[in-house]
Amino acid sequence: MMRLHKVYQRLSLLHFLPISLPSNPSLLPLSPPYRRITTNFTSITSMGASRFGTIAPLSAMLTEDGGGGNSNASVSSFTTTVDYEEDSNMGVVYRVPPPEIKDIVDAPPVPALSFSPHRDKILFLKRRSLPPLAELARPEEKLAGIRIDGNCNTRSRMSFYTGIGIHRILSDGTLGPEIEVHGFPDGAKINFVSWSPNGQHLSFGIRLNEENNESSKVRIWIADVETGNARPLFQSPDIYLNAVFDNYVWVDNSNLLVCTIPLSRGAPPKKPLVPSGPKIQSNEAKNIIQVRTFQDLLKDEYDEVLFDYYATSQLILASLDDQKYLLISSIHRPYSFIVPCGRFPKKVELWSADGKFVRELCDLPLAEDIPIASNSVRKGMRTINWRADKPSMLYWVETQDGGDAKVEVSPRDIIYTQPAETLEGEQPVILHKLDLRYGRTRTWVISPGSKDVSPRILFDRSSEDVYSDPGSPMLRRTQAGTYVIAKVKKGSDEGRYFLLNGIGATPEGNIPFLDLFEINTGNKERIWESDKEKYYETVVALMSDQEEGDLHLDQLKILTSKESKTENTQYFIVTWPDKKAYQITNFPHPYPQLASLQKEMIRYQRKDGVQLTATLYLPPGYNPSADGPLPCLVWSYPGEFKSKDAAGQVRGSPNEFPGIGPTSALLWLARSCVNFEMAGFFFDYFKSCRFAILSGPTIPIIGEGDEEANDRYVEQLVASAEAAVEEVVQRGVAHPKKIAVGGHSYGAFMTANLLAHAPHLFCCGIARSGAYNRTLTPFGFQNEDRTLWEATNTYVEMSPFMSANKIKKPILLIHGEEDNNSGTLTMQSDRFFNALKGHGALCRLVVLPYESHGYAARESIMHVLWETDRWLHKYCVSNTSDEGEDHDTGTVKENENVGKETKDSESKVVSASGGGCTEASLKYEGHHAMPRSSLW
């Protein structure tokens, strides 16, 4: 249970959490992102990490990012019978959506890229498609908020790479021939890929698919970059990686520090048949402890023993320079049954590289009492690390408000710095003091080596105001492997320049830029900007940081990405002074059948004057005036704001390539991509399958001044939805009676609320992995910091569970059986379904075995798509009903409860119908099942 750091290099080992900030600016994930995540934070100086929106860690990703499947079939219509009729005699099995959807999901992903430290070579990290369900079904231990694969002694559900190709970047920007890394066993699963500091070697973990538990553990391998030859790092077959927390780090160009499974460890402890006593929790000291609904916590003494077993590491240190230090953090008992391991007692120590203890930096107690208010933290030292700009120098932060963000105090945080070795009585030096204010981002200029130079505010703006974002300083890699601000020289000018890389948010959409910024005067010069007419381009990384010293503007070299509405992302190297761009990738279009889809960023206004935006997608070849309105799927996710102006700002770009993930709503654009060489009535049916997709319509929930946003949640939610629906109907692209709404997580919560409070807008809904009863999350959710007892009416009124009797439109609920997300435990969908069924609502609940908050297995994802496609065609495409009416009889049947339940070992599906929507269907051999109403 250790975390390792080394002086001279900021060796923060990677943690495989559900959401993490980029930690390796050299890796480019080239598959389309399933959703973008923006993290706002306060930076004390520009020493912080630069915002590279397309950068991710080299290490293994969670399986929510994909892996599995092997279909390369082209799109073909009429190859699979899609039967949407219920057949109780067949039981419940995993189903597959129509081939035009399935083939997009099964398409092989493009590789991830990683550049060498000297920017002269590039790795192509090869990936597979979706993993089989059997991989998710592997046994896992759920301990202290994490899930562990006991056979591998890693986090469970890791994806992996299948191969590594090395290319040299030639002087003309093209790539040399591939050198394949070889020498490891066939079928090996590759994780934790890392360059040595000098770029001459690669290191990576290898797992095998053998039945022997020991052989499935991870071994570290080393490869020579010039030849591709790979070999195990350790000759002993008994040394395996323990990757539950950290894995390994490069100490220098030829040595690594590795967290291994202790050689003395025996078999896993067995659970006693009879417990030693009852489970007791006590608060006799009357402490105020408020925690959110964390999942996978320790339950008893046996879990504590098991956690010790899997999480304890033995450090193996090879040939380190004894003039360096190691920073080691560990967690220890007493553990907790109500918070995850990130809040367990934590000790941070300084050791010499030859294994001698130097001193203890801190020993933090169990932190069960961190307030639920946003930006609250644990007490004591935190963010302890090495400074990137000075060897053997530590820094850390200490809160001055007791960890409670609601306490008004100045300063709120103090940043300290101190050498690794201190003289007797030497105290830490204050590096900077911070007053963190809600909704503001401040960037300071400080001089760590000059006590006489006062800190100076460089930028001060609202974090919600994207239009005023000046960009983030670009970082360069040092010879020590750390990343610092890239200083730039402009000819003979003696000014102090650095580069600001920004998203360039404007009312016309994002136009990314690169500014040359003079730190003393604040003057800016725009030296690069995205093509705003057709393309969306971004600056990804510096490519001219191989040498020490300042960068010269006329020798600047950057890596950019370039995409358009119809052209997928490619990567270019741009050189100064001529700014010539050299294309270095040529990835094929991931779904050529949708190459001519229509995309438009639209703007409209809510009735209270708030400006809203959305992205409207229309199928290839569609003409509103000739073809008429289409069924429409609205897919969104609400957001909270403190001002109407910020809520109305445009985010995103109309020129971005439409990335389509495995469960994306955009997959239904492909439902128009069929072979129309059939009889006329078949043509009419398939023509009716086409969809318009309204993706990400902004649903701002605004609380200005002292008002809390959620106090008017339902009102603002409905107003935003009304404006979106009115816009697509007025444009003539959406049929007013054939508009479906859907979302995942908080988007599912939104969907259920809209069906309850705005049934006039939508014909049906699809809600995936949501939370519907806020009394089950009593100590806050999303950005709601108040408790249930402080804002009872808000919790109740926001909960669609409390309005289950109002939901008359068909709703499809989907949930992973092993959901580990805080607040969205599977019970939420179970209880909501029962509430709906108890009021005769037309509803269906699909529970996916082994799936977590995001769905990963190919069988599960294909079935989710089949269920969604069935729901849309049954209750959207074929909808002719009026608000609140039964689809067959035109009467509301609230009290009739005609339901059926089926379950087998593969999946769980429960349906209930308040009167039903019984359709007669024609089954045509080798073709899709078609509703009778679409034929005659």
Which of 462, 745, 829, 934 is an active site residue?
745
Which of 853, 873, 887, 927 is an active site residue?
853
254 is catalytic: no
Buried b (16+ CB within 10 A) or exposed e, 367-405: bbbbbbbebbbbbbbbebebbbebbebbbbbbbebebbb
830, two tokens: 């179970």
919, two tokens: 């359709």
φ/ψ bin of 863: left (φ > 0), alpha (ψ from -120 to 50), beta (otherwise):
alpha
Cα-flanking dihedrals φ and ψ of residue 373, to 5°? -60, 140
Say how far apart CA 766 and CA 744 lie, in whole Å.
Answer: 9
Q: Are 392 and 325 in contact (CB under 8 A)?
A: yes
Q: Are 662 and 109 in contact (CB under 8 A)?
A: no
Half-sphere exposure at residue 434, Cβ-oriented, CA atoms within 13 angstroms: 27
Say how far apart CA 828 and CA 831 lie, in whole Å.
Answer: 6
| Cβ within 8 Å of residue 878, ≥6 positions away | 919, 931, 933, 934
Q: Are 81 and 926 in contact (CB under 8 A)?
A: yes
* CA 156-161-162 angle, 5° bins: 120
3-state secondary structure of 25: coil
Buried b (16+ CB within 10 A) or exposed e, 840-869: bbbbbbbbbbbbbbbbbbbbbbbbbbbbbb
340, two tokens: 């995850």
Structural Rg of the chain based on CA atoms? 28
Q: Is the peptide bond preceding residue 697 cis, with omega within 30 degrees of 0?
A: no
784, two tokens: 């709601």
Say how far apart CA 433 and CA 435 lie, in whole Å.
Answer: 7
Q: Which of the 8 DSSP states describes residue 13?
A: -
Residue 12's CB is within 10 A of a number of other CB atoms, namely 16
Identify the CA nearest to 223 among candidates 241, 200, 244, 207.
200
Say how far apart CA 539 and CA 571 lie, in whole Å.
Answer: 10
**Burial class of residue 428 in the structure, from the number of CB atoms within 10 Å of its CB (0-12 exposed, 13-18 middle, 19+ buried):** middle
Q: Tell me the sheet residues that pair with 459.
A: 443
167 is catalytic: no
Say how far apart CA 582 and CA 588 lie, in whole Å.
Answer: 18
What residue type is assigned to position 588 of the chain? P
Give the CA distances from residue 919 to residues 85, 476, 914, 923, in Å, rounded to whole numbers and listed in that order.
8, 63, 15, 12
Say how far apart CA 635 and CA 669 lie, in whole Å.
Answer: 13
| Cβ within 8 Å of residue 677, ≥6 positions away | none
Report helix, strand and coil shares of the chain as percent, to nearest 5: 15, 30, 55
What residue type is assigned to position 549 of the chain? G
Which of 252, 819, 869, 886 is an active site residue?
819
Half-sphere exposure at residue 191, Cβ-oriented, CA atoms within 13 angstroms: 30
Q: Are 495 and 520 in contact (CB under 8 A)?
A: yes
Cα-flanking dihedrals φ and ψ of residue 693, to 5°? -120, 120
Identify the CA nearest to 331 among candidates 319, 323, 340, 322.
340
Half-sphere exposure at residue 842, Cβ-oriented, CA atoms within 13 angstroms: 23
Say how far apart CA 716 and CA 612 lie, in whole Å.
Answer: 12
Say how far apart CA 96 and CA 864 lie, in whole Å.
Answer: 9
332 is catalytic: no
Say how far apart CA 109 and CA 111 lie, in whole Å.
Answer: 6
Tell me which residues are annotated as active site: 745, 819, 853
